[in-house]
């Protein structure tokens, strides 16, 4: 899609805005500009090679050099560098999240009040069965270690384990939280890019509600309300996705499949003076 000067200016302004919180995070973690520049170069080359190849032709360093503005020598150096291992962390996340989700929704593992009950790690019909049903072939011990590591579950004094939260959100590990930064923000940008390209015929849901004049004293109430209602929505969607998941036991793994989901997030910005923006609305 060709864009004119006004669209280019708007794109640059948008990139500047989204880079601000990212650069703030990078500086907080002592990542200098030179390191960021090297990462950006690598991604430019990867995207040029994989996403902008000419149909029927093998991607080349020369074409990547033209698209990115990098020298051919730089492109070849970056292509020769070993690729970071992203698959292991992603798979660990997916399987642990499925087990926790199954614990929360599967009545087999609930108490008479309908709440997830504490489970034994030794009884075959307790946590080992839960892991077998919802993690595929990942050993129950490995699933438990992952859930304990990120603080999603805890071990009680009587030896049983219980969930700490209703979602797989690492509570202790900054490394895992940073990995979520990479996946969740990338998913949002992918959706926006898709809607820019295909929104007229195949749009993906992308909305937010936002007001600019909410009293600070009212924020805790909205945080609680949005968290509760957002969690309820995600749990209903999780029920549907779980019923259609090809990773369920007995399902075929050779069918065409896709990664799909919906994200919900809360944002807040303290304003010192009333901005000259609309007071309310959705977008």
Task: Output the 3-class SS for the chain.
Answer: CCCCHHHHHHHHHHHHHHHHHHHHHHHHCCCCHHHHHHHHHHHHHHHHHHHCCCCCCCCCHHHHHHHHCCCHHHHHHHHHCCCCCCHHHHHHHHHHHHHHHHHHHCHHHECCCCCECCECCCCCCCHHHHHHHHCCCCCHHHHHHHHHHCCCEEECCCCCEEECCCCCCCCCCHHHHHHHHHHHHHHHHHHHHHHHHHHHHHCCCCCCECCCCCCHHHHHHHHHHHHHHHHHHHHHHHHHHHHCCCCCCCCCCCCCCCCCCCCCCCCCCCCCCCCCCCCCCEC
- The mean per-residue pLDDT over the stretch 122-150 comes to 86
Domain architecture of the chain: domains with CATH: 87-163 (1.10.10), 207-251+260-283 (no CATH)
Out of 55-59, 63-67, 215-219, pick the least confident. Answer: 55-59
pTM above 0.85, yes or no: no
Q: Is residue 279 very low, low, confident or very high in pLDDT (cuts 50, 70, 90)?
A: low
pLDDT confidence of residue 83: 66
Q: Is residue 76 very low, low, confident or very high in pLDDT (cuts 50, 70, 90)?
A: very high
What percent of the chain is predicted at pLDDT more than 90? 43
Between 108 and 1, where is the model more confident? 108
């Amino acid at each position: 899609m060709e864009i004119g000067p006004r669209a280019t200016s708007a794109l640059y302004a948008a990139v500047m805005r989204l880079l601000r919180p990212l650069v703030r995070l990078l500086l907080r973690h002592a990542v200098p500009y030179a390191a960021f520049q090297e990462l950006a170069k690598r991604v430019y080359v990867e995207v040029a090679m994989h996403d902008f190849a000419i149909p029927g032709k093998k991607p080349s360093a020369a074409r990547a050099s033209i698209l990115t503005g990098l020298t051919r020598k730089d492109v070849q150096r970056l292509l020769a560098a070993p690729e970071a291992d992203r698959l292991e962390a992603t798979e660990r996340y997916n399987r642990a999240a499925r087990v926790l989700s199954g614990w929360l929704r599967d009545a087999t593992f609930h108490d008479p009040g309908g709440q997830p009950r504490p489970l034994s790690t030794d009884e075959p019909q307790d946590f080992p069965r839960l892991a077998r049903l919802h993690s595929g072939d990942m050993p129950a011990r490995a699933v438990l270690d992952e859930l304990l590591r990120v603080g999603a579950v805890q071990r009680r004094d009587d030896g049983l384990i219980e969930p700490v939260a209703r979602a797989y959100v690492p509570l202790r590990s900054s490394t895992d939280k940073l990995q979520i930064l990479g996946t969740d923000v990338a998913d949002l940008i992918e959706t926006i890019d898709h809607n820019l390209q295909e929104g007229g015929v195949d749009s993906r849901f992308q909305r937010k509600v936002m007001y600019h004049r909410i009293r600070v004293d009212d924020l805790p109430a909205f945080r609680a309300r949005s968290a509760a209602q957002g969690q309820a929505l995600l749990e209903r969607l999780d029920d549907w996705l779980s019923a259609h998941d090809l990773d369920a036991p007995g399902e075929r793994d050779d069918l065409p499949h896709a990664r799909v989901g919906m994200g919900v997030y809360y944002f807040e910005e303290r304003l010192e003076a009333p901005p000259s923006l609309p007071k309310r609305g959705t977008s």
